[in-house]
Amino acid sequence: MKNGLLALVLVGSLSVLNGCGGGTTTPPPILATQFSVTPATSSPKAGTAFMITVTAQGAAGQTASSYSGTLHFASSDSNANLPGDSPMTGVTGTFSVTLNTAGAQTITVTDTQSLKGVSNAITVGASGATHFSVSVAINVATIGTPLNFTVTAADTLGNTVTTYSGTVHFTTSDSAAVLPADATLTNGVGNFSITMKTSGAQTITATDKTSNSITGTSNAIQVSGPATHFSVGSAGTGATRSPVLLLVAALDASNNSSTGYSGTVRITSSDKSAILPANAVLNGGLANFQITFETSGSQTATATDTVTSAITGSSSPIAVSATAPLSITSGNPPNGTVGSSYGTTTTTYEVCPPTFPGGGSCRPCVPNTIAGCGANLPFCGHAPPFVACIAKIVFSGFALTGTGGVRPYTWTASSLPPGLNLKPSSISGTPTPGTAATYQTMITLNDAGQPPAPFTATYSIVISNPPPPVVSSPSLFPGATINQPFSYSFSATAGLPPYSNWKVTGTLPTGILPITNAGVLAGTPTTTGSFPIMVTVDDSVSQVSAAQAFNLQVYPHGFKPDGAMGTPRTSDTATLLTDGTVLIAGGLGLASAEKYDPTTAKFTPTGSMSMPRDSHTATRLASGKVLIAGGGGLGGDPVTATAELFDPATGIFTLTGSMSVARTGHNATLLSDGKVLITGGGTTTAELYDPSTGKFTPTTGLLTTARTNDTATLLPSGKVLITGGFNSGALATAELYDPAKETFAATGSMAATRVSQTATLLTTGPNTGKVVVAGGATTAAELFDPATGTFSATGPMAAALAGQTATLLSDGTVLMAGGSDVNGIIAAAELYDSNSGTFSGTGGLQTAREAHTATLLKDGTVLVTGGVNPVIPGGILATVELYQ
């Protein structure tokens, strides 16, 4: 009964295990985690192929259920022939492998799934010996001295055949050599000794006595006997006082190098005055020596062993020429001036970006050219790329030169004028104040020859004081304004700075203080009029300048300070809004804007533009909104084609349609029909902005000339006059835009080329309807007559300005303010009278500035904002002035 119950239990258990009945399960598949690598043999011969079996296994070493992947093979035998990357589908695969290096090696198999397997060590045996390797301890030998060498039995792959059991027989190219007896090798290797008897290149050969195909020969061994003489080699020519190289070699009786010689050698010469080298040892039988001959002609050098005088040898004749004596060929050093760089100045020039943020690297340029933008072409400073060609001093001094002797040269000097020095072969420096005198300077030229033979000469160098200083006179002296601050800093050239003891003779206006020791004339004048004065200055050596005449004019009208903007700006825009406030927008690197309120004389921030803009345009539309278009290019700002509208009601800028091309330094002119004409910016294309659609549309015609930094002026007829500008150079041409046809046509040309000039439509007097064009780096001014299409001379201006502003005042005169001339940025201002066609002075700016704005306010005053002045810290201005 118990057995029957046990049988039932067993049967039930088996049924569960066999998956019969309820609750049965299927075991999970075995995933591959590694490889087993099994070679068909554990001791193959080198160079003989055999098979390996690769099997994918689970973590416990069981065969995986399935595998698919690409196998990569590697081996500890770097010379092995292995299969390329091979696919394996299924859990096992067989591959052919050939190992070529004897010894214990392994084979490694990996795949891209990080599976890996390494075989057990495989003992690779060498195949049968095919040749001998014969190697010597050193490749030089001395006759009669034993030389050790090694013989190794090797197979075709270079493996040592440890099982070689043959007998080795020895031969040599030296028929007199003492050879070792025939011998066997131990584990395929044997060490032996041979004694050579014949000098020259010799070899040793090992050959199997039974199979002469098993053989091997050593590399050449240089065998020499004891030294019997020397060879002395040279270039065959030389010069006195200059070293000549000798190569001394010990030779045996057969003229082979005696590499074993290590004696000491003494050098002598047929030139009894020669400078001989010290005795020296010939290591390895060779050594270099230097001898300096002192007697011209045919000479020889002899090498002799210091112990055995019979070991000797002489050079072939050496043709020794006489070295020319030293001489200074640069002549008498020039005289100098106190405070000035001594000698001749070598100068290069570079174009560098402005000192504004974002400036780039400099490049070479040519001064006084359009491309180089030189100092004598001031309009270049207003034309792309808004840079100037600046001098960069590379070297200043007097170069010393010599001839003869043995180079290299060295120079010394004594009794140089104070402030001058000699380094390394030039006299340079700046003579110091108080040292005007005549100096007897001794200059010595030394060379590298032996023995030393310096050349010395004494020269008279006269150091003089510079000419007396000269007080600088600007082309346009700024006028003062009654009851407003005035300040002017005089400057000087020549003489010896620093300057001091400035003096003014003549009657100064009441309120102007005496000139300071720094040359500043300042104060607040309380009376108008003309006040002639004479100005002198002393330099640091008490030289007094000639008196320079100035006419200090105090005018009833001029500029007064009026606070400051919240942000320094230049190349921005200022637009009078319908409520009498002024919108100031953008500037170098700026997207911000602010508004000026004349009633409070304060600036308040308003909305910002979508991007930084400089050299853009701002046009007040009939709706009162302001169109901002294009701009960029200074300080790394991108030039853009985008445009946006400022709404005074909300103080917000919103993007509007874009122009067809990116523009900067262009013009925007409000036409009679309310559209805005966009011209210039370096392209002949023009376009019209329609406020009703917010879009730009190209005009029917193109400009006759691509221009930038030109002018565009709306004429009473509705046409637009375009003048001058820059296109690979300053332009004198002009053209007219006809809004009815949307075309451009050339009109009469100006008498002068102009860039960054002004053009103003006159509204009073006999010249009403004409346009006065002024500046652009010339004093000449011209009137354009729309009736005839021609220009005629007017003016001229007092200074050749560029970059000034021109504002039509309520009385019909035109105010020209700021800008620059050949002397730099100015503060002066001028008035053009349309009735007389002449320019006259008026009170100047409180601060010299350029790239600023000038806006006529509703009360008739002129608001001047921002600009640049390199003398002011930071360069970019936030200050504001009012002309009244």
Across the beta sheet with 734-738, what order do the strands follow? Answer: 711-714, 720-723, 734-738, 743-747
Could you give the CA distance from residue 496 to residue 434 in angstroms, rounded to a whole number?
11
Q: Measure the CA angle with vertex 498, ends 492 and 824; round to 5°.
A: 35
Contacts (Cβ under 8 Å, ≥6 apart) of 5:
none
**Token digits for 282?**
């010939």
Identify the pLDDT of residue 390.
Answer: 65
Identify the three-state secondary structure at position 827: coil
CB 51 within 8 A of CB 94: yes
pLDDT of residue 405: 97
CB 499 within 8 A of CB 489: no
Strands of the sheet with 336-337, listed across from one edge: 336-337, 455-464, 437-446, 410-414
* Distance between CA atoms of residues 440 and 460, nearest Å: 5
Find the mean pLDDT for residues 109-129: 93
Mean pLDDT of the chain: 91
What does the pLDDT read at residue 19?
37
Q: In whole angstroms, how large is the CA radius of gyration of the chain?
A: 50
pLDDT for res 374: 43
Amino acid occupying residue 699: T
At 291, the amino acid letter reads: I
Burial degree of 642 (CB within 10 A; 0-12, 13-18, 19+): buried
Span 80-94, average pLDDT: 94
Give the pLDDT confidence of 592-617 residue by residue, as tens digits. Answer: 999 999 999 999 999 999 999 999 99
Which tops the pLDDT comparison, 303 or 348? 303
| pLDDT (0 to 100) of residue 321 | 98
Q: Is the pLDDT of residue 368 over 60?
A: no
Cis preceding-peptide flag for 451 (omega within 30 of 0): yes
Which of helix, strand or coil describes residue 757?
strand
In three-state secondary structure terms, 768 is coil
Which 8-state DSSP code applies to residue 81?
B
Q: Beta strand pairing status for 336-337 and 559-564?
A: unpaired
pLDDT at 20: 35
| Per-residue confidence band for 318, with pLDDT thresholds at 50, 70 and 90 | very high
What number of residues does the chain have?
Answer: 884
Residue whose C-alpha is closest to residue 591's, from 607, 613, 574, 570: 613
Give me the pLDDT at residue 11, please: 32
* AA letter at 146: P
Q: What single letter denotes the amino acid at residue 200?
A: G
pLDDT at 492: 96
Say yes or no to pLDDT of 28 above 50. yes
Of the candidates 89, 74, 85, the residue with the CA atom closest to the CA atom of residue 32:
89
User: Mean of the pLDDT values across residues 55-64?
Assistant: 93
Per-residue confidence (pLDDT) for residue 859, from 0 to 100: 96
What whole-number percentage of the chain has pLDDT above 70? 92
Write the secondary structure of 336-397 as one string of H (helix), E (strand) and C (coil): EECCCCCCEEEEEEEEECCCCCCCCCCEECCCCCCCCCCCCCHHHHHCCCCCEEEEEEEEEE
pLDDT confidence of residue 14: 31
Distance, CA of 527 to CA of 698 (rounded, Å): 56
Using CA atoms, how far apart are residues 768 and 306, in angstroms rounded to an integer?
A: 113
**Mean pLDDT, residues 215-234:** 95
| DSSP single-letter state for residue 285 | G
Long-range CB pairs of 174-178 (<8 Å, 24+ gap) are: 174/198, 174/202, 174/223, 177/202
Per DSSP, 300 falls in state: -
Mean pLDDT of 103-112: 95
What would the pLDDT profile of 833-866 be if each residue is shown by its tens digit?
Answer: 999 999 999 999 999 999 999 999 999 999 999 9
Decide if pLDDT at 6 tops 60.
no
Alpha carbon of 722 to those of 710, 749, 752, 770, 808: distances in Å?
7, 11, 15, 13, 18
If pLDDT is split at 50, 70 and 90, which confidence band does 79 have? Answer: very high
Residue 383 has pLDDT above 70, yes or no: no
Residue 352 banded pLDDT, cuts 50, 70, 90: low
Q: What is the mean pLDDT of residues 553-562?
A: 96
Please give the structure tokens belonging to residue 177.
Answer: 């050599």
Asked if 869 contacts 570 with a C-beta cutoff of 8 angstroms, the reply is no
Q: Where are the beta strands (DSSP E) in 465-592?
A: 470-471, 480-481, 486-489, 492-493, 500-505, 520-523, 529-538, 548-555, 559-564, 573-576, 582-585
pLDDT at residue 653 greater than cutoff 80: yes
Q: Check residue 380 and give its pLDDT.
A: 45
Query: Which pLDDT score is estimated for 365?
Result: 72
CA distance 814 to 764: 11
Mean pLDDT of 716-739: 96
Burial (Cβ within 10 Å: 0-12, 13-18, ≥19) of residue 394: exposed
The pLDDT-based confidence of 3 (bands split at 50, 70, 90) is very low
310 φψ region: left (φ > 0), alpha (ψ -120 to 50), beta (else): alpha
How far is it, in rounded angstroms, from Cα 766 to Cα 837?
Answer: 10
**Looking at the predicted structure, is the pLDDT value of residue 33 above 50?**
yes
- Average pLDDT of the segment spanning 804-819: 96
CA–CA distance, 653 with 608 (Å, rounded to integer): 7
C-alpha 594/C-alpha 584 separation (Å) is 5
SS3 706: coil
Instruction: Give the β-pairing of 363-364 and 122-124.
Output: unpaired
Give the model confidence (pLDDT) of 185-204 as tens digits: 999 999 999 999 998 899 99
pLDDT score of 369: 57
- Give the separation between CA 184 and CA 209, rounded to whole angstroms: 10
Q: How confident is the model at residue 873 (pLDDT cuts 50, 70, 90)?
A: confident
771, β-bridge pairs: 761, 784
d(CA 152, CA 491): 95
pLDDT at residue 7 tops 60? no
Neighbours of 825 (CB within 10 A): 22
pLDDT for the residue numbered 823: 83
Contact 800, 822 (CB under 8 A): yes
**pLDDT score, position 515:** 97
Residue whose structure tokens are 């049988």: 7
Is residue 876 pLDDT above 50, yes or no?
yes
d(CA 593, CA 337): 54
Beta pairing partners, 199:
none
Count of Cβ atoms closer than 10 Å to residue 554 Cβ = 24
Distance CA 785, CA 762 (A): 11
**Angle at the Cα of 309 (from 308 to 312), degrees rounded to 5?**
110
Q: What gap in Å lies between CA 625 and CA 107, rounded to an integer?
A: 83
Q: What share of the chain is helix, strand, coil (3-state, %, to 5)?
A: 5, 45, 50
Cα–Cα distance list, 191 to 153, 583, 809 (Å): 12, 102, 114
Helix and strand tally (H, E) in the chain? Answer: 1, 78
Q: What domains, with CATH codes, occur in the chain?
A: 34-124 (2.60.40.10), 131-224 (2.60.40.10), 229-321 (2.60.40.10), 327-464 (2.60.40), 470-556 (2.60.40.10)
Q: What is the pLDDT of residues 504-524, one digit of tens each?
A: 999 999 999 999 999 999 999
Distance (Å) of CA 371 to CA 376, 632, 730: 13, 21, 11
Q: Which of 768, 717, 769, 710 is nearest to 738 (CA)?
A: 717
Contact present, 523 and 486 (Cβ < 8 Å): yes
Give residue 353's pLDDT band: very low, low, confident or very high (50, 70, 90).
Answer: low
Residue 355 has pLDDT above 80, yes or no: no
Q: How confident is the model at residue 361 (pLDDT cuts 50, 70, 90)?
A: low
Q: Structure tokens of 461?
A: 């160098």
> Could you give phi then psi for residue 446, rounded to 5 degrees?
-115, 150
Residue 478 predicted with pLDDT over 80: yes
The answer to whether residue 656 scores a pLDDT higher than 50 is yes
2 pLDDT above the threshold of 60 = no
